[in-house]
Amino acid sequence: MKNSGNKIFIYDTTLRDGAQGEGISFSSAGKMALARRLDQFGVDYIEGGYAGSNQKDMDFFRDIKKEHLSHARIVAFGATRRANTRVNDDPMVHSLIKAETTVVTVVGKAWELHVSDVLRATVKENFAMIADTIGYLKDRGREVFFDAEHFFDGYKDNPEFAMSTLEAAVHAGVDSVVLCDTNGGCLPHEIFSITSNVVQALLIPVGIHVHNDMGLAVAGSLEAVRAGAKQVQGTVNGFGERCGNANLCSIIPTLQIKMGKECVNKEALKGLKELSLFVNDLVNMRHDARAPYVGHSAFVHKAGPHVNAVQKNPRTFEHVKPESVGNKRRILVSELSGSSSVLLKAIELGVGREKSAKGAREVLSALKHLESKGYAFEAADASFRMLVQKVLKEHRSFFELEGFRVIVEKRGKNEPCLSEATIKVRVNDQVEQTAAEGDGPVNALDTALRKALVRFYPQIAKVFLTDFSVRILDPEEATAAKTRVLIESSDGEDSWGTVGVSGNIIEASWEALVDSVEYKLFREEEKKKKRRTGRTGKRRKKSKKVS
């Protein structure tokens, strides 16, 4: 890592430090997949794991050598030799060599408290541990980074000692030192001040590694860069021990877009949200809707005046272009919305007219009426689309309900509940009646509905429920309270939300299910129309050329 101009080197430790977070675990295949993805995105260093601590990490170092990475360099992480142990006799140091990576990161103590209370060693021995380990690795041709653990706490406690740990590493030939706020308790202005002192004192590049225990890891990392740090360590989505590490999904776009630093390719940055989603999927974590830059709500607008302003000039309420980080603008509709919100949302969903102000007012009126009854369309775009079509008289039903019945039966104290739904629907002039069992009454009803319709509309066989949530709207009414049901559906490619409200939870679920199925069928019709239009356009273009 050379100290070069405006370039900030991104060091990803998701596979090591991120994996130490509660509930985070990567399979061997998952580690390889993420390494490939990070390389494609353009990070400079990928810390693959803690060499010698477990077989999975060592297997990763072995397998990643077979990959042809285009940009990133793989890093093996380890610690300084043990106290009062020769470096040649420390198996963990040998594991760093066995990993066969060209870059190695070594963590060592930079807080005197840890030397006395954790290592139970002398200050002199701690300096020797740092120097011996780094010298051993440099002699074997490795690029070596020194993670100065608890550096900021150590500096505030005893600046001379903390700086001496860095000097020991520098004299041993280390390529870069990384200042670690391991407890995540250092304020951003303190990080700036201390990092500035280190940058001025050393002739080698300085890096930053901050934990998020105060929610300030991103701010601290940015302040370190402002003070002269050239390497930033962090994790995708901020995964890590306790409250996590500095979130690269916030740091990278802020450095690049706001501070004019060079981190990754501009086109690659457009894949930031996709990278964030990919990592969450790998570890089966729900995506944070409110995450800066990459969250589903990061560029969402709800209040009428905000939507109106964004329509005129997006800069009024968007600090960056959503597309620059792979996100998109979304308009929410609710009783707080104005006509502009409704019109923009309708156009976004492919319905409505650019200049249909009267239609927008009619939709807004219907929307407010329904929300007064308990409906909420923020997470139910599909239901909102159905509403717009009905108000604008553009809706046609694909089927009509003749009736349904749901039975829940428990045949004994220790027996599970059984749910069965029978449903009768009419499609054109044909009546279909089916029955289906399910894990619960809604599952049974959903299965029976799709079973009844699949003969007429085979495409709905791919639709399945991905989420089902229930909210009691007026709990003071106890069991007579109204219920709002939100359903999220998917066909494996796209997902959409629908809503239903009723004093009966089954009827509320039915409303949401109907909107879900009809939305899918409308989308399929639209695709057919586009394909027909495309074919017609091609034929016309060809005939024009011939003539």
The CATH code that applies to domain 9-264 is: 3.20.20.70
Task: Name the residue among 274, 247, 277 with its Cα closest to residue 41.
Answer: 274
- List, in order, residues 6 or more apart from 340 with CB less than 8 Å away: 304, 307, 308, 311, 360
* Mean pLDDT value of segment 316-321: 95
Give residue 1's pLDDT band: very low, low, confident or very high (50, 70, 90). confident
Instruction: Give residue 529's pLDDT.
Output: 77
* Mean pLDDT value of segment 163-171: 98
Give residue 356's pLDDT band: very low, low, confident or very high (50, 70, 90). low
Instruction: Give residue 372's pLDDT.
Output: 78
Give residue 544's pLDDT band: very low, low, confident or very high (50, 70, 90). very low
Instruction: Give residue 537's pLDDT.
Output: 57
CA-CA distance, 353 to 390, in Å (whole number)? 14
Instruction: Give residue 543's pLDDT.
Output: 44
Q: What share of residues in the chain are helix, strand, coil (percent, to 5)?
A: 45, 20, 35
Please tell me which residue, 502 or 368, carries the higher pLDDT value: 502
Please tell me which residue, 79 or 346, carries the higher pLDDT value: 79
Would you say residue 70 has pLDDT above 70?
yes
**CATH match for 400-519 among 3.30.160.270, 1.10.3720.10, 3.20.20.70, 3.40.640.10:** 3.30.160.270
Task: Name the residue among 101, 166, 171 with its Cα closest to residue 135.
Answer: 171
Instruction: Give residue 347's pLDDT.
Output: 59
CA-CA distance, 36 to 295, in Å (whole number)? 23
Instruction: Give residue 368's pLDDT.
Output: 74
Give residue 546's pLDDT band: very low, low, confident or very high (50, 70, 90). very low
CA-CA distance, 126 to 120, in Å (whole number)? 10
* Mean pLDDT value of segment 472-477: 68
Q: At what angle do helices 505-546 and 381-391 cross, to 10 degrees?
A: 70
Would you say residue 103 has pLDDT above 60?
yes
% of the chain at pLDDT higher than 70: 89
Fold match flag (9-264 vs 400-519): no
CA-CA distance, 469 to 491, in Å (whole number)? 19
Would you say residue 350 has pLDDT above 60?
no
CA-CA distance, 48 to 67, in Å (whole number)? 13
Domains of the chain, residue spans: 9-264, 300-391, 400-519
Instruction: Give residue 208's pLDDT.
Output: 98
Biggest distance spanned by C-alpha atoms of the chain: 92
For 430-467, write each residue's pLDDT tens digit.
999 999 999 899 999 999 999 999 999 999 998 888 88
* Mean pLDDT value of segment 410-416: 84
DSSP for 136-174, written as a single string: HHHHTT-EEEEEEETHHHHHHH-HHHHHHHHHHHHHTT-
- Three-state secondary structure call for residue 459: helix
Task: Name the residue among 375, 495, 398, 454 with its Cα closest to residue 446.
Answer: 454
Q: What is the DSSP letter of 116?
A: I
Instruction: Give residue 547's pLDDT.
Output: 29
As a whole number, the mean pLDDT across the chain is: 89
Instruction: Give residue 534's pLDDT.
Output: 66
Rg (CA), the chain: 30
For 28-62, write each residue's pLDDT tens digit.
999 999 999 999 999 999 999 999 999 999 999 99
Would you say residue 124 has pLDDT above 50?
yes
- List, in order, residues 6 or more apart from 424 with CB less than 8 Å away: 401, 402, 403, 404, 431, 432, 433, 452
Burial of 532 (0-12, 13-18, 19+ CB in 10 A): exposed
Task: Name the residue among 325, 323, 329, 326 with its Cα closest to residue 301.
Answer: 329
CA-CA distance, 174 to 196, in Å (whole number)? 19
For 269-313, write each residue's pLDDT tens digit.
999 999 999 999 899 898 898 999 999 899 988 766 777 788 789
Instruction: Give residue 417's pLDDT.
Output: 87
Please tell me which residue, 359 or 71, carries the higher pLDDT value: 71
How is residue 416 written in tokens? 């599970």
% of the chain at pLDDT higher than 90: 66
